[in-house]
Structure 1
Amino acid sequence: MTTYADRPWRALYREGQPVEVEPEFPHLLAMWADAVRRAPDQDAIRYFDATLSVAELDAASDALAAALQERGFTTGDRLAIYSQNDPAFVIAMLATWKAGGVAVSVNPMYKERELAHVLADSGARALVCLDEVHPVAVAALAAGSGVDVVITFSGRDFQTRDDERVLDPVGVPPADGAENLLGLLARYAGQRPGPVAPPGPDSEAFLVYTSGTTGDPKGARLTHANFVVNARNYREWMQLGPDDAILATAPLFHITGLVGHGVLSLLLPAPLVLGHRFHPGVMVDAIREHRPVFTVGAITAFSALAAVPGVGPDDFASLTKIYSGGAPVAPAVADRLETVLGGYVHNAYGLTETSSITHIVPPGRRAPVDPVSGALSIGVPIASVRSRIVDDAGADVAVGELGELLIAGPQVAHGYWNRPDVSAEAFPGGELRTGDVCFMDDEGWFYLVDRKKDMIIASGYKVWPREVEDVLCSHEAVHEAAVVGVPDDYRGETVTAFVSLVEGASLAETELIDFCRDRMAAYKYPRSITVVAALPKTASGKILRRELRA
């Protein structure tokens, strides 16, 4: 079969208009049903020493969907998945769709405050929760939510190796007030969910929470059509087939892992290699054992893999298609990784609001480097992506000129959940304002130069300064706070804070770092804090972040 990526890559982008593709399936359930019909005995998940076939995954998700329906879960309800890269994530995702619902991905690093916001904002009815973080969930639920079904599972489920590098060697006691996933799968084995109206292409499949182009976390409304189209783009552009195992380097709760690993594996169908959470040594062992062909993840993950003692190109020989997304890649880093990994790390670009990729460096091509800025190209637009670069007035800029990148196409989300005001600003006319400053050269390559706003990307995760500042200012000794991102060779950017204290107060910087660590995800809290007498401000009282960065 001739794929889009087999054709001359310049033909994929002509005068700003890409090749258009039609969705292969009307919704994700039709896509999955086709995979079950074609390859029921294919490995769907490989998790340490466990293997779930396509048919077994289908049966498990049927059982969970039936259990959810019996507990009152119905069409349009939301189910939050608070999980690492475990088989339970995929089972719960499919079960949610089969029961007519919408899945909500939750970062397992979220603390009580962050989880409570997602549960309340999404209106989740059910929660499938990793037992390790169930105490956090209990505290978040106590703050008030509509969740009335809680199902817990263990990272030790399905497998027997109990790798102590990522799995608790003792296990977590059964959670009070929650049902157990394995118990439900056994009780409802062989049952199928009751009939539900099939979702339309524009029906929500997932709410994925992101700070987006404005500060507070919002649920991007990602549809069945968004995922069907972009899973196909991954398959075609990366030239993948059922025999090409996928290494889940990126977390499934993140848009890159969700679409570029999870949904893609359901489409092919191809084995999805999971390892609970990212640990370089565990990932290297999984690569050696399962010989995956494709992965996409943050550049920091690949740097960590390359730093595992004793690894070399032979270990990574099967990974012939490696893509990096989530943060810009420095050319020197790409070159250094190639010597260890034995293969070129291709750039990819996308956002939560675009259901993952919109631009990639095509297979077999090397990204050019802009001689002026030193930026490595993020690639060319993939099929059906309509991207343009505009000035502050919204007018298209000339080739080579800087401006904000705007993206339209069937991959773009339908706005934010229950936020019509913010949606109208971020998606004018259905076109996403990315907030990223880019330019395009005369060959059609796109380059990401800077971010228009103050968003920080640390290890591929978005961090909005205001959220960190709010936590800092909740400390009784802090008067004012300002947070900025500073370059970091490993994380891309790291979070740095400047604070002024209440008069007469004293506070050790390490104490304040610990205060933040206890109240937010690990990638958000500041790695350094400087106490200053006063923050620099404009005449109108606005904090001068540019002076702090300097």
Structure 2
Amino acid sequence: MSAYAERRWLGLYTEGTPSGIVPEHGTLLEMFRASLERGPGTEAIRYFDGVLTLADLDEASDALALALADRGFARGDRLAVYVQNNPAFVVGLLAAWKAGGSAVAVNPMNKAREVTYLLADSGATALLCLDELHESVTAGVVASGDTRVGTVVTCSARDWQTRDDPRLFASPDGRAAADAARDAGTLDLLTLVEENAGRTPEPHPPEPDDVAVLTYTSGTTGVPKGAMNTHAGMVFNTCTYRDWMGLTSADSVLGVAPLFHITGLIGHLTLALLLPCPLVLAHRFHPEVMLDALREHRPTFTVGAITVFISLSTTPGARREDFSSLRVVYSGGAPVAPAVTARLREATGMFVHNCYGLTETNSPSHMVPLYADAPVDPASGALSVGVPVFDTFVRIVDDDGREVPVGDAGEIATSGPQVVPGYWGKPEATAESLPGGELRTGDVGFMDEQGWFYLVDRKKDMINAAGYKVWPREVEDVLYGHPAVREAAVVGVPDEYRGETVKAFVSLNSPDGQGAEGAGGGEPVTEDALIAYCKERMAAYKYPRSVVFLDDLPKTSTGKILRRQLRAGTRENDQPA
């Protein structure tokens, strides 16, 4: 029996934690209705000064489901949801399921070309979007005839609240912007809720294996692919969050991650509906607004990218007591440097646990057991991403799919109830990435003798410097150890002699570049100083040969640092004339 088949990681589970779970619900709609029956008046969403109960969500989603059905939306159809972290996102998902269909989660940062592709690829026949996005993007997309969308419902970010925070809802002159003029060919969500009050749609209960939400991959290795997140898979990982962390209806969830992303979708939205408990939303991530939400609503749980917590902790005016209500905090989406978690714990008191997963695993496949200290690999300096969660089996394999010895690096291959069955309309991509139902993640990692797993890096991000492999995150972890460094990203750049060499991009905690106390004595941090810092701490072929200082590093809407954007700009600028 192989070390992986032994599942030695089970010995690291918190005492009393089972190796497997059996979700009590078959579908997300069944899960929602069970919570609704237990307490229709339970607060489901807190949105600035607005509150929606489970009964409010039920009534609003009934109204939208009726409107969709009246306009031809049928079982198996798709509703694209193109909004920010607004109550309308939750209403849209529930309505799609009630109408017998599924939802398509669309990144609100996407532009016309990207939205056209997603709508056409998914075959969505209906669209729910913010009025401002319809005016600037989807009006033209729908009019082009390049998609199947025939029904458009718009909503406002101001719906269900009255505060109109000018930091989020403001025009260039600083005044609260008026709602966008309504297109004559669209429907208004709140109007539909009023018109359909008291009516209920014909029941179209989904099956566990039905697609609940299509979530699109980022497309870094080709065109975006629609991961088919089923009801059963999403329910399973929703229960995983609850049971792994011991969350109850007495908790509340801070929505720092975008709801269109798998972390926000499972770790915020469906989790809050399951418990049930309040989900605190604030339209989009703005550090000052989110700090105010922390102070006002005192949430107890959140999960998000590590850059989110760095941003919150370094926002002017942030105090340690602002974070004191957060009982359980996890971070996923990108590798986390040990120095960062230590710094956050000292500054905020937050014990940030690591977790790991992908769109194709419905959020977590690995988590650090609650209140356990994740170990640091002494060779690479990597902080463990935890252990496989309930009923999840993970192997480390080589390029041919063969298991590698314990401690050796290879591709992380994951199987379990949360893994998607495939990509929408792409059988070849499914066969390549999910052979036999096992997900080949494209991430390089390893398992140690105890059963802890470590993420090294993405296979495609490896730097080949004079024949030596350099993993960017190892260099980044060293940079994060410097007290003046707030964010770091490392990429490979062309080099005539070495083939590739290491280049770092950093943002600093202090805008003027002053070193932190004990690290430079208040002197400005220079490129040479950071290079020397790394040179002292790693092999000669690994340390960066150049460092570029930026005010902020480019990120996705989920908070992941965009190495590919930094790499593309570097290669463009470094090409010989």
Residue by residue over 1:456-490, the C-alpha shift from the partner in whole angstroms, topping out at 9 and shown as x without a partner, is: 999xxxxxx9xxxxxxxxxxxxxxxxx99965556
**Matched residue of 1:314: which SS?**
helix
Q: 2:433 aligns with which of 418, 426, 433?
A: 426
The equivalent position to 1:159 in structure 2, one of 137, 161, 175, is 161
Residues 83-102 of structure 1: pairs in structure 2 closer than 5 A? 83-102=83-102
Aligned partners of 1:13 and 1:381 also within 8 Å: no
Contact 1:156 1:171 in 2 (8 A): no
| Residue 195 (1) aligns with residue 203 (2) | yes
Measured in 2, the distance between the counterparts of 1:535 and 1:210 equals: 34
Q: CA deviation at 1:452?
A: 1.2
Q: Are 1:267 and 2:270 counterparts?
A: no
Cα offsets for 1:43-92 (capped at 9, x unmatched):
00000000011111111111111111111111100000001000000011
Aligned length: 476
Counterpart CA distance in 2 for 1:402 and 1:522 is 23
* Runs of 5+ consecutive residues of structure 2 not aligned to the other structure: 1-7, 171-175, 463-471, 477-490, 492-499, 509-553
Residue 423 of structure 2 aligns to a residue whose secondary structure is: coil
* Contact kept? 1:65, 1:193, Cα under 8 Å: yes
**Paired AA for residue 309 in structure 1:** P
Counterpart CA distance in 2 for 1:126 and 1:244 is 35
Question: How far does residue 191 in structure 1 lie from its aligned partner after superposition?
Answer: 1.1
- If the length of structure 2 is used for normalisation, what is the TM-score? 0.78
Aligned residues: CA RMSD: 2.8
Alpha carbons 1:9, 1:362 under 8 Å: kept: no
Alignment partner for residue 350 of structure 1, among 353, 357, 362? Answer: 357
Aligned equivalents of 1:235, 1:28: Cα separation in 2: 15
Q: Partners of 2:438 and 2:576 in 1: how far apart?
A: 37
Q: What CA deviation, in whole Å up to 9, does each residue of 1:120-171 have, x standing for no partner?
A: 0000011100112112112222341000010111111110100011123122
- Kindly report which structure 2 residues correspond to 1:99-498, keeping only aligned pairs within 5 A, or say none: 99-134=99-134, 135-143=136-144, 144-168=146-170, 169-176=176-183, 177-196=185-204, 198-211=205-218, 214-454=221-461, 488-489=505-506
**Matched residues in 2 for 1:488 and 1:361: separation?**
29
| Counterpart-to-counterpart distance in 2, 1:490 and 1:93 | 38
Q: For residue 212 of structure 1, report the CA deviation from its aligned partner.
A: 6.1
Please tell me the residue identity of whatever aligns with 1:322.
V
Q: Which SS does the other structure have where 1:315 is aligned?
A: helix
Deviation string 1:82-103 (CA, Å, 9 cap, x unpaired) is 0100000001110110001110
The 3-state SS of whatever aligns with 2:194 is: helix
For 1:23, the equivalent position in structure 2 comes to: 23
Q: Distance in 1 between matches of 2:386 and 2:45?
A: 30
Q: Which amino acid aligns with 2:191?
A: G
- 1-structure distance, mates of 2:259, 2:574: 43
* Inter-partner Cα distance in structure 1 for 2:308 and 2:502: 19
Q: Using the TM superposition, give the Cα deviation of residue 526 of structure 1 relative to its aligned residue in structure 2, in angstroms.
A: 3.6
Report how far residue 253 of structure 1 moved.
0.5
Asked if structure 2 preserves the Cα contact closer than 8 Å seen for 1:349 and 1:358, the reply is: yes
Q: 1:259 to 1:390 in 2, by over 3 A?
A: same
Q: Secondary structure at the match of 1:439?
A: strand
TM-score between both structures, scaled by the size of structure 1:
0.82
Q: CA deviation at 1:172?
A: 2.8
**Higher RCO by CA contacts (8 Å cutoff, separation 6 or greater):** 1
Q: CA deviation at 1:442?
A: 1.1
1:394-414 CA-partner distances (Å, limit 9, x unpaired): 111121111110000110011
- Counterpart of 1:539 in structure 2 is none
Give the aligned residue type for 1:422: A
- Whole-angstrom CA distance in 2 between matches of 1:489 and 1:364: 31
What secondary structure, in the 3-state scheme, does the structure 1 residue paired with 2:442 have? strand
**Alpha-carbon distance change, 431 to 213 in structure 1, aligned in 2, over 3 angstroms:** farther
CA contact (8 A) 1:350 1:357 kept: yes
The runs of 4+ residues in structure 1 deviating greater than 4 Å are 454-458, 483-491, 521-525, 527-536
Identity of aligned pairs, percent?
A: 55
Aligned to 1:468: none
How far is the alpha carbon of 1:190 from its aligned partner? 1.3
Alpha-carbon contact 2:77-2:100 (below 8 Å) kept: yes
CA contact (8 A) 2:66 2:201 kept: yes
Consecutive unaligned residues in structure 1, runs of 5 or more: 1-7, 459-464, 466-482, 492-515, 537-550
Could you give the per-residue CA deviations for residues 183-236 of structure 1, whole angstroms, max 9, x where no partner exists?
A: 11111111111122x222111001000036832101000100011100000001
In structure 1, what is the Cα distance between the partners aligned to 2:335 and 2:113? Answer: 30
